[in-house]
Structure 1
Amino acid sequence: MPGTDHTPTAKEIRLVIAASSAGTVFEWYDFFIYGTLASLIGAAFFPSDNETLEMLLVWAGFAVGFGFRPLGAILFGYLGDRLGRKYTFLVTVTLMGIATAGVGLIPNAATIGIAAPIIVILLRVLQGLALGGEYGGAAIYVAEHAPPEKRGFYTSFIQASVAGGFVLSIAVVLTCRFLISEDDFAAWGWRVPFLLSIILLALSLWMRLKLSESPVFQAMKEAGETAENPFVESFTYPGNPKRIFVALFGVAGVLTVIWYTAFFSGLSFLRGPMRMNEGLVEIIMLIAGCLSLGLYLVVGKWSDRVGRKKPIMIGAVLTLLLLFPIFWGLGALANPGLRASANSAPVVVTGMACDYNPFASDQATDCGKLLQDLTSLGIPYTVRQFDAVTSGPSRTPVNLNVGAAEYDLSEGVDLGAAERKPYVQSLLQEQGYSFERQTPPLPNIIGIIALLICLGGLSALTYGSVAALLCEMFPARIRYSSMSIPYHIGAGYLGGFLPLIAGYIIATTGNAYAGLWYTWAIVAFGMLVAWWGVQGGPPRDFSDNA
């Protein structure tokens, strides 16, 4: 990039890539371990009789961290453009490591009450602030060391490192499960992966302290060309508002919802409604994640030849075409019995005021209580409303139809929550539904891994070249702020809230696939923005296309 007085040696570039990538892996591990252990975190800090509410509260806490990423981008973007790339992301990785370890030290809600979830949320805020400064710093640091013809390939290691953080979180959880008994892991062992972040922090700091400042930033500083107020200049620099809009919706919005759908929605889908054995799901996600990592590097290198726009557009189009078929395939392979039961004995609920509020700990109507039970059991259902005028006093307040069988639940729904759900479950079992944890045969497992790799490929197409693209879209003097702000707004709000929004859609519709429409809509809009606003053709520095 322009303004570089010193050409880094091959050894220096290898150290830059290794240190930046390792730090990114560790920092995203810290952030993702929360989502990987979502069910245990829910039981510890957000306990509720409504299992769906418990999980939604966990995802709400997950979203809070993402919601603060844009603020972190503004704060650390300012510091990165004013003080330098290196020291800024040293601060972010330190903040992330300390906040993550703190989650592992908090007493559960049974011990300190509401203080537990409050402290968890505050630590998630700190994590979000740190992550808002991490990605931009690492991506820019590598990009400003890379020769232009290899910028996509070198920065793709940063993109792969984000997925690497997820893979590391899965690997650590699996190792802990292997070394710690199931009961002990549920009681206290889940805290170990959080506490390990202290070791990862020390290693990351050791590696990053060996780095020197970005040559581009050094040249700007020596020439007195650093920005006075990077945040303000990001919105006043000629053409930057359009570039920020495109970066937010056409780049960050697309890549982030695909990424979280591929990894977190895939994980939640298999463990939740498909009822697969949790340990097996984690092994499958680990294998698929590892095999997907190389795809980010392939796409990054390819983008150095064909440009950054083509892979993103191809990935977005393929996502719109393949998203639902891939998840339908996952469902058919993971739990074929559920699909067969749903086809042969579909569940229909009929009642008055038959509404379900996933955020209520206790539903207002009997029908709502039944829908709560079906949702927590992962059973798809259809709702038919009794009309208040035509139903009359002789009609059953709540009917449950399972295939040809019809059950009068006027008594069943009056049971306490602890007895009502097993009662409903027994009725479904009478009609062939199984609630055993599933261990599919080996061919099915191989098929599931293949489909997850397909999702990883879609993510790689829309993510592998992004660090290079964003660095080339903005001028060096305000690059840290200008690329971090739209990236973290897109990733923080459009992606970070995906598990919560998709979970809510699934809970209110009874359809395990309905949450995918959120991803589909964001990708469809983002694809149009990218087609309009992302520059095609061979990669070019900002100075060549400003």
Structure 2
Amino acid sequence: MRRARRRREDKQMSDNEPVAAQVRDGHVVGRNDKLVITAASVGTVIEWYDFYLYGSLAAIITAQFFSGVNETTGFIFALMAFAAGFAVRPFGAIVFGRLGDLWGRKNTFLVTMLLMGISTFVVGILPSYAAIGIAAPAILVLMRLIQGLALGGEYGGAATYVAEHAPPGKRGFYTSFIQITATVGLLLSLMVILGVRTVVGEEAFADWGWRIPFLVSILLLGVSLWIRLKLAESPAFQRMKAEGKGTKTPLKDSFGKWGNLKIVLIALLGLAAGQAVVWYTGQFYALFFLERVLRVDASLTNILIATALLLATPFFIFFGWLSDKIGRKPIILAGCLLAALTYFPLFQGLTWAANPRLAEASATSPVTVYADPAECSLQFDLVGKAVFNTSCDIAKSQLAKAGVSYRTEDAPAGTLAQVRVGETVVESFRGDQMATADFTAARKTWGDDLTGVLSAAGYPAKADSALVNKPAVVGILFLLVLYVTMVYGPIAAALVEMFPTNIRYTSMSLPYHIGNGWFGGFLPTTAFAIVAATGNIYYGLWYPIAIAVLTFVVGIIWVKETKNVDIND
């Protein structure tokens, strides 16, 4: 009787689907698997493309929208605006996750995609700070917030939708195609940026050409909407509705009951947090590190990153497939552990490969700032009004601008700060008693003098592209992205399998987006703030290492393997 009823329900569902599918015993066995995966993946690729354009163009965004503050603060502001989109992702997960569990997976991620595309287009036509002042960064941040809300609802819907179509024993493999979308979106953004840069030239690109990749997104949005409108609702969701097992209070059922909330917390700390920091270190922090710290040419940086992504991307599928065989947990936690153990040597190797003159100068002529601690402040201005005019701050801000790693030694109170480059000593000066114009002129003169000393010691103003060991850089980047594929390839299947159908969209979306939106999204900002505070270009890595180790420990103890669970319950 139960099988007969199930067959009637399945036939009724297939009759209502615009793309016919036959469902038996909880999985799709018809010809629609490729369409389901392709449609969900293409739409998600475009959303990631929109979202990561900003991160890929952080240096230009700084000049266009944060030109009212000093260079170091402006770049951190740009990263904070980038992170703002991540900050609201958990709220998007709550809002759209609830709609997805009430209204359906398909309808919800159509809405999120529309929001993403429109907000990206607006960034492309937004006037700069020079044109409209403070309104420019304010509107930019607003668009980032809308993007974050949209992406907070998109991923959970796409991952849940594909997982609920996958046959038992292949959920890791099926959902790994969704996992590729983030990297493909980043890769697509890099390729479009590189193409526009090549066509219009660097000067024109910095002036107006950077807008083109944002404007192109409106065309991609139209294609994606057309493809997704061909999809039907997932069979698991339709069955849940047909059997009357849905919930009217997905938020309360997800987070108001300790049994499910405990699983949410385990999913966050034992899987998603570590996955997030490994993901953003391997792709975005590596990009920023090459371009901002090592001063590698932006176009060359994009080519190197894109090459590594192309080489490593198939491993998302491989580790998704492998997780169906040996489990999600061992692969994800192994990726976290490997990353924590090897980040320092890999990034140090990246310095030697990408900017060997900088690495050699740092080794043979290390830089030390000898200063009174009372004169040294954090090289970060939250409101853009601080003037770093003590002798210590002048020295440190110039070194930060030059991308030079240094250590600080305490000097007796009242001592004028000194910058020691190897055996050469350059005395700083105090600008706190100077008129603004005099201070600006004196700082420029002193900065030129320090630059000359650094240059004489072998410190380059930027990386020499001819000296970049491109195979070595790509090899290191490949390893970093390989860790990403280990932690990210199986994560969608693992999260989907932890929660029941009626609250799955809501429950799996929140830990994923807190992990990726907060732990991961704030990684570039946090890491560069640590670098600016300490003067050591590698100390920003302590943040992802600490989170990866936390996830490894929590995951080993509390995460249960889920590869064989029945997700139709």
- The alignment's TM-score, normalised by the length of structure 2, stands at 0.91
**CA deviation after TM superposition for structure 1 residue 375, in Å:** 0.6
Alignment of 1:455 with 2:480, yes or no, is yes
Partner of 1:533: 558
Partner of 2:161: 141
Q: How does 1:394-405 map to 2 (within 5 A)?
A: 397-405=416-424
Tell me the amino acid that sits aligned with residue 145 of structure 1: H
Partner of 1:355: 376
Task: Choose which of 410, 416, 429 in structure 1 pairs with 2:429.
Answer: 410
**CA deviation after TM superposition for structure 1 residue 275, in Å:** 1.4
- Provide the alpha-carbon RMSD of the alignment: 1.8
SS of 2:183's partner is helix
The answer (yes or no) to whether the contact 2:85–2:148 under 8 Å persists in 1 is yes
Alignment partners' CA distance in 1, 2:64 and 2:262: 45
Partner of 1:376: 401
Task: Choose which of 307, 320, 331 in structure 2 pairs with 1:300.
Answer: 320
- The alignment's TM-score, normalised by the length of structure 1, stands at 0.95
Alignment of 1:69 with 2:94, yes or no, is no
Alignment of 1:115 with 2:135, yes or no, is yes
SS of 1:196's partner is helix
Distance 1:506 1:132, change over 3 A: same
Tell me the amino acid that sits aligned with residue 511 of structure 2: P
**CA deviation after TM superposition for structure 1 residue 48, in Å:** 4.1
The answer (yes or no) to whether the contact 2:356–2:467 under 8 Å persists in 1 is no
The answer (yes or no) to whether the contact 1:25–1:164 under 8 Å persists in 2 is yes
Alignment partners' CA distance in 2, 1:348 and 1:284: 32
Distance 1:224 1:145, change over 3 A: same
Partner of 2:435: none
Partner of 1:87: 107
Q: How does 1:284-363 map to 2 (within 5 A)?
A: 284-352=304-372, 353-360=374-381, 361-363=386-388
Task: Choose which of 421, 426, 451 in structure 2 pairs with 1:425.
Answer: 451
Show CA shifts across 1:336-381 (max 9, x none). Answer: 1111111111111122234132223421412102101101111011
**CA deviation after TM superposition for structure 1 residue 533, in Å:** 2.0
Alignment partners' CA distance in 2, 1:230 and 1:421: 59
**CA deviation after TM superposition for structure 1 residue 30, in Å:** 0.4
Partner of 2:526: 501
Alignment of 1:510 with 2:510, yes or no, is no
Task: Choose which of 387, 407, 421 in structure 1 pairs with 2:412.
Answer: 387
Alignment partners' CA distance in 1, 2:418 and 2:171: 62
Alignment partners' CA distance in 2, 1:53 and 1:132: 28
Distance 1:40 1:418, change over 3 A: farther
Tell me the amino acid that sits aligned with residue 103 of structure 1: V
SS of 1:407's partner is strand
Show CA shifts across 1:445-472 (max 9, x none). Answer: 1111111111111111111111111111
The answer (yes or no) to whether the contact 1:347–1:401 under 8 Å persists in 2 is yes
Distance 1:183 1:450, change over 3 A: same
The answer (yes or no) to whether the contact 1:357–1:363 under 8 Å persists in 2 is no
Alignment partners' CA distance in 1, 2:30 and 2:275: 30
Partner of 1:365: 390
Alignment partners' CA distance in 1, 2:47 and 2:132: 28
**CA deviation after TM superposition for structure 1 residue 236, in Å:** 3.8
Moved more, 529-538 or 66-75: 529-538
Distance 1:80 1:147, change over 3 A: same
Moved more, 25-34 or 326-335: 326-335
The answer (yes or no) to whether the contact 1:50–1:372 under 8 Å persists in 2 is no
SS of 1:515's partner is helix
**CA deviation after TM superposition for structure 1 residue 10, in Å:** 4.7
Distance 1:484 1:411, change over 3 A: closer
Task: Choose which of 78, 103, 108 in structure 1 pairs with 2:123.
Answer: 103
Alignment partners' CA distance in 1, 2:530 and 2:454: 23
Alignment partners' CA distance in 2, 1:494 and 1:117: 24
**CA deviation after TM superposition for structure 1 residue 536, in Å:** 3.0
The answer (yes or no) to whether the contact 2:192–2:213 under 8 Å persists in 1 is yes
**CA deviation after TM superposition for structure 1 residue 418, in Å:** 4.4
The answer (yes or no) to whether the contact 2:165–2:235 under 8 Å persists in 1 is yes
Alignment partners' CA distance in 2, 1:418 and 1:218: 68
Alignment partners' CA distance in 1, 2:296 and 2:181: 27
**CA deviation after TM superposition for structure 1 residue 178, in Å:** 0.9
Alignment partners' CA distance in 1, 2:193 and 2:30: 36
**CA deviation after TM superposition for structure 1 residue 411, in Å:** 7.7
**CA deviation after TM superposition for structure 1 residue 322, in Å:** 1.3
Distance 1:25 1:327, change over 3 A: same
SS of 2:539's partner is coil
The answer (yes or no) to whether the contact 1:356–1:371 under 8 Å persists in 2 is no
- Identity percentage over the alignment? 44
**CA deviation after TM superposition for structure 1 residue 19, in Å:** 0.7
Tell me the amino acid that sits aligned with residue 402 of structure 1: V
**CA deviation after TM superposition for structure 1 residue 538, in Å:** 4.7
Partner of 2:462: 436
Alignment partners' CA distance in 1, 2:90 and 2:452: 48
* Structure 2 residues not aligned, in runs of 5+: 11-21, 433-438
Alignment partners' CA distance in 1, 2:248 and 2:281: 39
Partner of 2:152: 132
Alignment partners' CA distance in 2, 1:48 and 1:159: 38
**CA deviation after TM superposition for structure 1 residue 238, in Å:** 6.4
Alignment partners' CA distance in 2, 1:333 and 1:55: 25
Distance 1:378 1:25, change over 3 A: same
Tell me the amino acid that sits aligned with residue 409 of structure 1: S
SS of 2:368's partner is strand
Partner of 2:221: 201
The answer (yes or no) to whether the contact 1:88–1:137 under 8 Å persists in 2 is yes
Distance 1:242 1:179, change over 3 A: same
The answer (yes or no) to whether the contact 1:350–1:386 under 8 Å persists in 2 is yes
SS of 1:149's partner is coil
* Structure 1 residues not aligned, in runs of 5+: none
Moved more, 483-492 or 233-242: 233-242
Alignment partners' CA distance in 1, 2:68 and 2:457: 29
**CA deviation after TM superposition for structure 1 residue 409, in Å:** 2.7
The answer (yes or no) to whether the contact 1:412–1:423 under 8 Å persists in 2 is no
Partner of 2:17: none
Q: How does 1:181-260 map to 2 (within 5 A)?
A: 181-237=201-257, 239-260=259-280
Show CA shifts across 1:422-479 (max 9, x none). Answer: 332122112222213321547x211111111111111111111111111110000000
- Kindly tell me the number of residue pairs found equivalent between the two proteins: 536
The answer (yes or no) to whether the contact 1:356–1:372 under 8 Å persists in 2 is no
**CA deviation after TM superposition for structure 1 residue 334, in Å:** 0.8
